[in-house]
């Protein structure tokens, strides 16, 4: 019996095993989110390899003559249709994957096997839903075609006893007859097995009571009622109010401040002798503070971590990944502080809580106010021990300094009374 060319046979089994690996890994990625940054890169790398191997296979199909079909009639037509469908699956799965990555909100760059950058396809962002839906549906279409394909092959080989499987085997070896199809099962098993162990740290951080429970800080600053001078017991209750009262000072109405556009929050960290600097493009701050009575301050800053940029799209993609911010699981960093202390004429320090990547830790910031009255300028800094938040936990962070310097500057205007 004539068989397929060796190269066609090699590509048939290699692609089949890789596809099984991809599907198993793809399903797992969904649950991993950004925790699986490296595995996402692997899935994309293997996927693009499948695309290239499939193109090679199509070329081989024209270049090396194939054995004549074993069957005509409707069965022959069905076999042909299933083969056609399998080719569409082999091309469609990687192309929809590439399209979905190219149109995602968080534009994570792809470096194929850590070496070759994969450009984003020039597609409108509106194509994302289609690409993602198609990518996930194609896996099931592929599985259905695979089932028909295998049923057909087994029917020929064993029921019709025409030895069809030998056409896709490099030699008539019973070992290969078992080993080559088994490669597909091995690919699937490997795709499921290479997942990282569940992150105990993340689970523990969620389980343990967080010092500043998020639902509570989610509330607006305890909107002090205008005119009401006694704010010794604002909704936040607590020590700050008591301190103010104990100090026996007349407590002025803390003002709400509106942060004006044009401010910045930047960060910089040493990396093996050089400094990596970047900034966050998107953040919001809610500030209630009377500069003369900082102890009644109520500060909440939310940073959209996906907006972090160091001016290099590949590194930005890494920043979004699990090794750094893990934005898919934890899109925002939140700093809250109730009360600040004066450390100089215009200098303040606020000890609060930073919630980043699922961990909440005490964090203080220092800042200086300039200007007077209802328009002030704020500039300040903080030093963040990144390890406490599991930021930079992979090999590429080996040379990174443990402390990250954060600096901010913005203008703020006092909110007119009664406006909320």
Positions that interact with ligand HEM (CB under 6 A): 12, 15-16, 19, 22-23, 26-27, 29-30, 40, 43-44, 47-48, 50, 61, 66-67, 69-70, 79, 83, 86-87, 90, 93-94, 97-98, 100-101, 110, 132, 135-136, 139, 146, 149-150, 153, 164-165, 167-168, 181, 184
Least distance in Å: CB of 206 to ligand HEM?
21
Nearest to 170 by CA among 44, 299, 11: 11
Nearer to ligand HEM by Cβ, of 149 and 413: the residue is 149
- Report the residue number, 177 or 199, with the smaller CB distance to ligand HEM: 177
Report, in Å, the least distance between residue 28 CB and ligand HEM: 8
The residue whose Cβ lies closest to ligand HEM is: 26
- Please give the Cα distance from 404 to 395 (Å, whole number): 18
CA distance 345 to 368: 9
CA distances from 261 to 183, 280, 406 (A): 58, 13, 19
Please, which residue, 83 or 366, has the CB nearer to ligand HEM?
83
**Phi/psi of residue 387, each to 5°?**
-65, -30
Closer to ligand HEM by CB, 164 or 285: give it.
164
Measuring CA to CA, how many Å separate 331 from each of 12, 319, 324? 41, 12, 12
Alpha carbons within 13 A on the beta-carbon side of 154:
8
Question: CA-to-CA distance for 112 and 48, rounded, in angstroms?
Answer: 8
Cα separation, 366 vs 382, in Å, equals: 6
Shortest distance (Å) from residue 313 CB to ligand HEM: 15
Instruction: Kindly state the smallest distance separating residue 156's Cβ from ligand HEM, in Å.
Output: 8
Q: Which residue has the tokens 């443990």?
A: 402
Residue with tokens 């606020």: 350
Nearer to ligand HEM by C-beta: 155 or 413?
155
**Shortest gap between Cβ of 61 and ligand HEM (angstroms)?**
5
Report in angstroms how near the CB of residue 90 gets to ligand HEM at its nearest: 6
State which residue, 191 or 291, has the beta carbon closest to ligand HEM.
191
């Amino acid at each position: 019996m004539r068989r397929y060319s060796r190269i066609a046979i090699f590509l048939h089994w290699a692609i089949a095993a890789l596809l099984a690996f991809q599907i198993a890994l793809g399903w797992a990625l969904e649950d991993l989110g950004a925790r699986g940054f490296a595995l996402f890169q692997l899935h994309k790398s293997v996927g693009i390899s499948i695309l290239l191997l499939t193109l090679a296979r199509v070329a081989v199909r024209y270049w090396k003559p194939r054995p004549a079909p074993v069957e005509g009639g409707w069965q022959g037509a069905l076999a042909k249709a299933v083969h056609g469908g399998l080719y569409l699956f082999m091309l469609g799965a990687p192309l929809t994957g590439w399209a979905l990555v190219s149109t995602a909100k968080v534009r994570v760059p792809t470096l194929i096997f850590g070496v070759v950058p994969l450009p984003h396809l020039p597609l409108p962002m509106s194509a994302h839903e289609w690409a993602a839906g198609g990518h996930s549906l194609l896996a099931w279409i592929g599985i259905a075609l695979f089932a028909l394909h295998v049923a057909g092959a087994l029917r020929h080989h064993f029921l019709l006893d025409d030895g069809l499987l030998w056409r896709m085997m490099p030699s008539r070896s019973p070992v290969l007859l078992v080993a080559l199809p088994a490669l597909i099962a091995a690919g699937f098993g490997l795709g499921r097995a290479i997942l990282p162990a569940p992150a105990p740290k993340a689970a523990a951080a969620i389980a343990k009571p967080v010092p500043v429970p998020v639902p509570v800080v989610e509330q607006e600053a305890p909107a002090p009622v205008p005119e009401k001078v006694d704010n010794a017991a604002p909704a936040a209750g607590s020590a700050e109010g008591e301190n103010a009262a104990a100090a026996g000072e007349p407590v002025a109405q803390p003002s709400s401040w509106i942060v004006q556009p044009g401010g910045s929050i930047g960060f910089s960290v040493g990396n093996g002798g050089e400094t990596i600097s970047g900034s966050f493009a998107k953040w919001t701050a809610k500030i209630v503070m009377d500069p003369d009575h900082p102890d009644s301050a109520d500060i909440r800053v939310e940073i959209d971590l996906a907006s972090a940029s160091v001016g290099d799209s590949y590194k930005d993609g890494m920043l979004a990944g699990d090794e750094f911010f893990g934005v898919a699981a934890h899109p925002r960093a939140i700093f809250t502080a109730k009360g600040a202390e004066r450390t100089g004429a215009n200098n303040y320090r606020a000890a609060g809580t930073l919630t980043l990547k699922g961990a909440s830790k005490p964090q203080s910031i220092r800042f200086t106010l300039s200007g007077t009255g209802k328009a002030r300028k704020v500039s300040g800094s903080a030093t963040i021990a990144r390890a406490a938040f599991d930021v930079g936990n992979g090999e590429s962070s080996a040379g990174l300094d443990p402390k990250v310097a954060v600096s901010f500057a913005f203008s703020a205007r006092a909110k007119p009374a009664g406006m909320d």
